[in-house]
Amino acid sequence: MSHTPRVAIIGAGMSGLSAASKLREAGVQVTLFDKSRGSGGRMSSKRTDFGTFDMGTQYFTARDPGFAAAAASWADAGLISTWQPRLFRYDEKGLIPSDDSQQRFVGTPRMTALSRGLLASSELVSGTRIERLERQAQQWHLVDSQQTLHGPYDQVIVAVPPAQAAPLLAGVANLVAPASNSSMEPGWAVAITLPQKLDSSADAVFVRSGPLDWIAREASKPGRANSENWVLQSTPAWAEAHLDDDPAQIVDALVAAMGEVLGIHIPTPVFQQAHRWLYARPAADCEWGALAAPEQGIYVCGDWCLGGRLEAAWVSGQQAANAVLSVQ
Ligand code: FAD
Ligand code: NAI
């Protein structure tokens, strides 16, 4: 290409941010678009008068060497820290301590510190839902829900969950099929602040019985407020069965389940909020990494291309960026 190439990334979650930072390092001009107010996607934190709650990603592990090196640099920059909760496991046999030697990381002072750090100086057009892509003269225009045109761009990376990616990929035969055939499972996340500290030594529980999948005490994570804030996350199956329930009923049901898990009475929360994730995790793992149609200048990444973890989203974004760089 004779001019400086321009790349648009639709979706500013971990996969889009990963691709953006790799391209930025290579000197490529990148613009991110996201329908939400800010960046982070499912790596999300809620700020309240009672402190913050990580409503999506709870923590992450690093197994890929490239991701481990990136995590080390984020730790040096103060964006993340290691988290050493007192871990438990709950199943039909009850609640038992389940400490292990796995290194786990969290954003500090909240998960979104990491997304903010990764966004850095990249341009983000927020509050903008991209509805379709139009190809003219070898370039892409992005059309948002107000029918405003953005672009042109030489290349586009689609970094959104598959149901949201499929309409954007409508004209690209080899990419639309994987997106249309991939599905995500839902999840409910509940944030509560309790009036006093619970008499429980558990900081986090892997729950393997009942509606819950996971509970965690926010104050056990580094840099958080001292309030008795907990996040409760449901299993996908329970969320599927309660998708349209009233949020207040969701809170009641998951707080009751939390009492069962910890074996103690949970007092009435002084703050509560439920968040429904329609696309929480991929229904199946796959090994695509990233998808590409280089002749049309369009690429796809996201956790659903590699496995439903933050690390997978990051690796997928790196692979999409590498594919873009290989044709420039
Ligand atoms: P997303 O984060 O979903 O980013 C996609 C972005 O695209 C979003 O910001 C969205 O607003 C935007 N978007 C969508 N459609 C459009 C459009 N048309 N136009 C513009 N923008 C659009 N992983 C772990 O490793 N550890 C955990 O503990 C963990 N816990 C989790 C708990 C929950 C409740 C959930 C939901 C997920 C959890 N995960 C966890 C998974 C992890 O959060 C994801 O794997 C990762 O954040 C996915 O990143 P992504 O970039 O692929 O997608
Ligand atoms: P990890 O290695 O800590 O956990 C992986 C899985 O191993 C856990 O889900 C749990 O089943 C089991 N496990 C690990 N340590 C355990 C212990 N000490 N005691 C009992 N069981 C233990 O982390 P990894 O592989 O990075 O996974 C990330 C986490 O993200 C997982 O917990 C996963 O369930 C969660 N996740 C949640 C989503 C949601 O929508 N709620 C979506 C995607 C991921």
Q: Whose CA is nearest to atom 9 of ligand 2?
A: 206
Q: What is the DSSP string of 62-76?
A: --SHHHHHHHHHHHH
Do 32 and 52 lie in one domain? The reply is no
Give residue for tokens 């099929």. 177
The pLDDT value given to residue 41: 98
Cα–ligand 1 centroid distance for 49 (angstroms): 25
Number of domains in the chain: 2
Q: Whose CA is nearest to atom 21 of ligand 2?
A: 206
pLDDT band of 156, cuts 50, 70, 90: very high
- How many residues are listed for the chain in this entry? 328
Number of neighbouring beta carbons within 10 Å of residue 175: 22
The pLDDT value given to residue 2: 53
- Per-residue pLDDT averaged across 123-148, rounded? 97
| Structural domain includes residue 1 | no
- Digit-coded pLDDT (tens) for 254-269: 999 999 999 999 999 9
Q: How far is CA 30 from CA 19, 76, 153, 198, 259, in A?
A: 9, 25, 9, 47, 47
Which residue from 309, 311, 314, 316 has its CB within 8 A of the most atoms of ligand 2, so it is best to mutate? 309
- CA proximity to 211, closest of 230, 227, 188: 188
- Digit-coded pLDDT (tens) for 265-296: 999 999 999 999 999 999 998 999 999 999 99
Cα–ligand 1 centroid distance for 178 (angstroms): 18
The pLDDT value given to residue 267: 97
| Structural domain includes residue 233 | yes
Do 40 and 122 lie in one domain? The reply is yes
Number of neighbouring beta carbons within 10 Å of residue 208: 13
pLDDT band of 251, cuts 50, 70, 90: very high
Do 84 and 224 lie in one domain? The reply is yes
Number of neighbouring beta carbons within 10 Å of residue 163: 15
The CATH number of residue 145's host domain is 3.50.50.60
Q: How far is CA 182 from CA 2, 162, 164, 175, 219, in A?
A: 37, 6, 11, 11, 36
Do 40 and 51 lie in one domain? The reply is no
| Structural domain includes residue 137 | yes
| Structural domain includes residue 79 | yes
Do 196 and 266 lie in one domain? The reply is yes
| Beta-strand runs (E) in 3-113 | 6-10, 29-33, 45-48, 51-54, 80-82, 87-91, 94-97, 105-107
Do 10 and 105 lie in one domain? The reply is no
Q: Whose CA is nearest to atom 29 of ligand 1?
A: 57
Identify whether the C-beta of residue 249 lies closer than 8 Å to the C-beta of residue 241.
no
The pLDDT value given to residue 171: 85
Whether the pLDDT of residue 179 is over 80: the answer is yes
The pLDDT value given to residue 170: 94
| Structural domain includes residue 108 | yes
- Digit-coded pLDDT (tens) for 16-75: 999 999 999 999 999 999 999 999 999 999 999 999 999 999 999 999 999 999 999 999
Minimum-distance ligand 2 atom for the alpha carbon of 236? 40
Do 176 and 190 lie in one domain? The reply is no
Do 134 and 265 lie in one domain? The reply is no
Do 198 and 152 lie in one domain? The reply is no
Q: Look up the domain containing 103 and give its range.
A: 46-112+183-282
- Digit-coded pLDDT (tens) for 189-244: 999 999 999 999 999 999 999 999 999 999 999 999 999 999 999 999 999 999 99
Q: Does residue 212 have its Cβ closer than 6 Å to ligand 1?
A: no
Identify whether the C-beta of residue 30 lies closer than 8 Å to the C-beta of residue 125.
no
- Digit-coded pLDDT (tens) for 69-105: 999 999 999 999 999 999 999 999 999 999 999 999 9
Cα–ligand 1 centroid distance for 13 (angstroms): 6
Q: Which ligand is nearest to the CA of 88?
A: 2
**Boundary-marking domain end, from 282, 297, 316:** 282
| Structural domain includes residue 236 | yes
The pLDDT value given to residue 254: 98
Q: Which ligand is nearest to the CA of 309?
A: 1
The CATH number of residue 206's host domain is 3.90.660.10
The pLDDT value given to residue 137: 92
